[in-house]
Structure 1
């Protein structure tokens, strides 16, 4: 696992400054504390900070091929590289290391960009093809590894994180109002946007090809829900178990020790149990909880660790949130308000002090329909007889209304009831929307409201209309989550929080082979008897104790409401009301105050809205105020 950065100039006689590359990679030191290397030649510069995990000596980057025509820097892990390596050797390639990086180079020699389809794993790749004067950037299918870039007058710059890209003074720091609007809606900024105008995220499953000053972005893989398998349920359960076990086994390839992030839920406990079966030593597990009642899963995690004979580490978080927020702002590089980023940072910090690699249970809910929003509502039971495609067409006016509503909470509730009845998948688009249209209309300054107009509404409608007509409601909801919540919130949160602590996180449930099979499983096996992940529960039943197998879903979260009324109150009040620096440029102070007062008086629960605004203010002070070096200006 690594952090990569680089720049290419249209004028090949103009050198990329080594000092610039060093500034960029210095901003990525947490992603790769083990090594720092560069390639600079003829208007091209590649840099890397390496976290050495596989082939500790031979895997150094940037790496080149025999004639030095190709150079690559790579962040991630290719889990099927041993198989690919054997294939390349049989075809006559000469390989001098045991690293997955070298496999990428030689696959590209044979297949060009088509090599991406052969890779099973997580990756962000930058490859310089000197004979063609071509830079190829690529990101893995689901978006586990981040990659951002900026087209500049002199060429193109890229990096693993925004903070490294912003080390280039050519990259402008101008806030994109439409990206800000998207952030307020769903607490993160979906690709390809970033908070900065002119800076883009490469979307998952895409490659960017830059040649002689021109760039094109193209998709190399699409997730599809194919025909449903007619196999009997026992055979499906066995196939799930085999694929999950294979996925875990592949992710145990490492030249350094590894462990498991253990939450106490079904997904991470199943992963931990399978890891324990493959290792010849006790697996290390890591869990965190909060003192507030109902948030901690520590007892379940503790029991599971004892069941598999793990060396268990746990902590009850008593952190100073006011101290952690600026750290998170510095690493994310843009506003990111998913509240579970705090416990995720805490548990990965604990694990990162002991290990370089852990496995997690991320992806189980998306693969096997574990979220409550996947369950049909009572309203939908009245309309389920109407074909899904017809209901989605009838629901679009309600979806448009629910998104663009500028006033009237009653009308908003009516629109949402209509959506519950006609199109349950819409919940996957609207569930994170903590600021509905009517609240944003009263929160924004008029010039900001005009600037954002209906951009987010149109983005959501574009995703809605892009659903294949033959998908049933459950597959449509899953497809929307694969395209929005999973990459833009869940995976972004985990990568940045873990790599801030120099920790690689591997997710067996996000293996694309497993996901493609899960997409063929009938929805009635995933959601059965009002319970999500039913078929997965059956597939791993022998691994888990009954209290975990049949326990309620709690999620991995943080007690934001209690923080804002307790230990975080003075800090938040100072930043939101008494001395804000970024908020007044975009939001009406009296509207922010009204949210605060209603929440503190207990009249309304505005915890997540206030948290979202607080995270924005902390980010603004960290990156935009006082020079924006990424150093905290929070006082």
Structure 2
């Protein structure tokens, strides 16, 4: 796990030569005291860049002061950018001039995936990204504010305890920040809670600004209020041009043309439309190696699941990958995966991630694939993570179209959703239409109150027992598709006391002002943020030393370009493959095989059910002495019953079990770790979360 950490405005103790009394273990110092900055972990040299603005000379008639030395050495302002950012040093200096004057939004305008830290006088600013793939955390410490790109180092610095309320909220309503962030309300600024008590997370699309030790969280964008009506939409052609340009910039920002033989680029080619499109775009990268040598072909990796009959990696998908990889600029590598690469297997091993995530149950599968790619020489790997959430139209987008009276554009999406929801298509479409109309006339506050009432009764709204199952699966599907917020798939296993507490948090959240979004944009943005969180956890859990995962669809420039796609286009069935085909065609990639986009995503549900059946015995033993039970969050008996049913081949809610098992595994790894993230000359430090 790679992270950066520093603090500003603190009264931290310092030893000889202005050395902090504590510092991160194995850190590389970027800035020195009294407001230091460190980078920790497997960073490449070209992933850490700094620029400095020189201090203007002091007039001779003015006396020297203690501030002349400055907290940043010989400059009045410094900028550090960590990650993949294509901006030149001159561009960084120009950005630093504007940032020193107070502007920050331009720091999130470059392609790539990166974090920017600014130190100018008594002010420190940290800028992540728009969706949360590169988050920023902060906590009060030593009279000032400590910040980092991971929560665990700050938790160790504060010697924090676990925030069980946050974990319960994540399990109950993972896509509803109204519940998860209830513990951070009332602080006068946007704030997200974390699993560590006292450590806060900067919301996506915001920056952290620390002035004289006090934090502020300004937005990086001016968001349009829904009271102003719909914003003017660009045409489909204009949106496609913007998407093409953004994807090209995002791929080029990874520096594939300059990587050469030192870090060979690779990409997924396992059935996903988005990852295949990125592979084809990257294969056409310009340039060569010094001396006129030809750049090596892009490594295209196809994972085949041999343990799941009819699952991902079927012969048809493998043949499709081979057809696309016939390009001379691609070198095709097939990675077979057996039972040891199934979801839910190998959970006893693996690194500790910063936060829990369902990605943990798939991490062994990803490590198997990425390790094989690394052995074949692929050190930089493109993935299509986030494309579904960034490009597709969330079903709740139909509510926005209803509010705009664009009813004709809703016909085909409603018919497609009716087929997904099951039952007769005509009756299903009518039911969905009524659900859209009801959601359009439901204020945000009432939506929270409805969910609070459902949870208080012990219902989960996902087809379970009691209130959850009322109305059948089609009505449950309609509620989950269009409501302001819905329960998560793991809520059914939480205790009644925990659900009652979360219902109280929702009632409290219902008294805050309405969000500046409509239901569709609100739900879509939350889904994209959750996808970014899962990608970040996967990046940490499946990390291979020296290798880098890249998710261009989570880049700021691509996210903005996807937002410009008209709603009437993105909600149509098959919109994502059609859009990516148009992008590739505009880039000169033609002659795609006929099956491109027909299966835009491997069927992971079948693999998850198979993995549950294979690992059922180990998982049953895990919940025989559950940490979640000890914390009072779940009753393990229904969980063990579900695992026994999975072992017998019955259909069980695998997605909800994945959420629950991921938190259980994360807690076990957290409690079993040894040593703190910090060392120094001060008294011995206690790790965060040593016990409940």
SS at match of 1:284: strand
Residues 150 and 156 of structure 1 are in contact (CA less than 8 Å); yes or no, is this contact kept in structure 2?
Answer: yes
Matched, 1:488 2:488: no
* Aligned equivalent of 1:383, options 424, 430, 434: 434
User: Cα 1:222–1:413, aligned 2, differ >3 Å: closer, same or farther?
Assistant: farther
User: Cα 1:185–1:60, aligned 2, differ >3 Å: closer, same or farther?
Assistant: closer
Question: How many aligned residue pairs are there?
Answer: 583
Aligned ranges 1:358-507 → 2 under 5 Å: 358-369=381-392, 375-376=413-414, 377=417, 378-379=429-430, 382-383=433-434, 386=437, 389-390=440-441, 398-407=450-459, 409-414=465-470, 424-426=481-483, 429-430=485-486, 433-436=488-491, 439-442=493-496, 446=497, 448=498, 451-455=501-505, 465-466=514-515, 468-469=517-518, 473=520, 475=521, 477-482=523-528, 484-489=529-534, 491-497=535-541, 499=543, 501-507=545-551
* Aligned equivalent of 2:244, options 220, 241, 244: 241
User: Cα 1:390–1:453, aligned 2, differ >3 Å: closer, same or farther?
Assistant: closer
Matched, 1:574 2:621: yes
Aligned ranges 1:545-584 → 2 under 5 Å: 545-551=593-599, 553-554=601-602, 559-566=607-614, 568-577=615-624, 579-584=625-630
Instruction: Please give the alpha-carbon distance, in whole angstroms, between the structure 1 residues aligned to 2:137 and 2:329.
Output: 41
SS at match of 2:652: coil
Aligned ranges 1:511-550 → 2 under 5 Å: 511-528=555-572, 533-540=577-584, 542=590, 544-550=592-598
Offset from partner CA, 1:530-555 (integer Å, 9 cap, x none): 76554444444636311123335336
By relative contact order (CA 8 Å, sep 6+), the higher-ranking structure is 2
SS at match of 2:125: strand
Residues 13 and 21 of structure 2 are in contact (CA less than 8 Å); yes or no, is this contact kept in structure 1?
Answer: no
Instruction: Please give the alpha-carbon distance, in whole angstroms, between the structure 2 residues aligned to 1:520 and 1:561.
Output: 37
Aligned ranges 1:76-155 → 2 under 5 Å: 76-79=83-86, 81-82=87-88, 85=89, 88=91, 105-109=96-100, 112-129=103-120, 131-132=121-122, 134-155=123-144
Query: Could you list the runs of 5+ residues in structure 1 that have no partner in the other structure?
Result: 26-35, 89-99
Query: Could you list the runs of 5+ residues in structure 2 that have no partner in the other structure?
Result: 55-73, 182-191, 288-294, 398-412, 418-428, 678-686
SS at match of 1:454: helix
**What TM-score do the two structures reach when normalised by structure 2?**
0.71
Partner of 2:34: 42
Residues 24 and 164 of structure 1 are in contact (CA less than 8 Å); yes or no, is this contact kept in structure 2?
Answer: no
**Structure 1 position 193, deviation (Å):** 2.0
Partner of 2:284: 277
SS at match of 2:82: strand
Aligned ranges 1:167-206 → 2 under 5 Å: 167-168=156-157, 170-183=158-171, 185-186=173-174, 192-206=192-206
- RMSD of aligned residue pairs (Cα, Å): 4.2
Partner of 1:32: none
Residues 379 and 547 of structure 2 are in contact (CA less than 8 Å); yes or no, is this contact kept in structure 1?
Answer: yes
User: Cα 1:207–1:467, aligned 2, differ >3 Å: closer, same or farther?
Assistant: closer
Instruction: Please give the alpha-carbon distance, in whole angstroms, between the structure 1 residues aligned to 2:513 and 2:651.
Output: 31
**What TM-score do the two structures reach when normalised by structure 1?**
0.77
Residues 10 and 144 of structure 2 are in contact (CA less than 8 Å); yes or no, is this contact kept in structure 1?
Answer: yes
Matched, 1:613 2:660: yes
Aligned ranges 1:264-413 → 2 under 5 Å: 264-279=271-286, 281=295, 282-291=297-306, 292-297=308-313, 299=318, 300-307=320-327, 309-318=329-338, 319=340, 324-328=346-350, 330-338=351-359, 339-352=361-374, 354-369=377-392, 375-376=413-414, 377=417, 378-379=429-430, 382-383=433-434, 386=437, 389-390=440-441, 398-407=450-459, 409-413=465-469
Offset from partner CA, 1:458-517 (integer Å, 9 cap, x none): 66x699942534x7x5x55433423x423333x323442465544333333334444434
User: Cα 1:44–1:154, aligned 2, differ >3 Å: closer, same or farther?
Assistant: farther
Matched, 1:218 2:218: yes
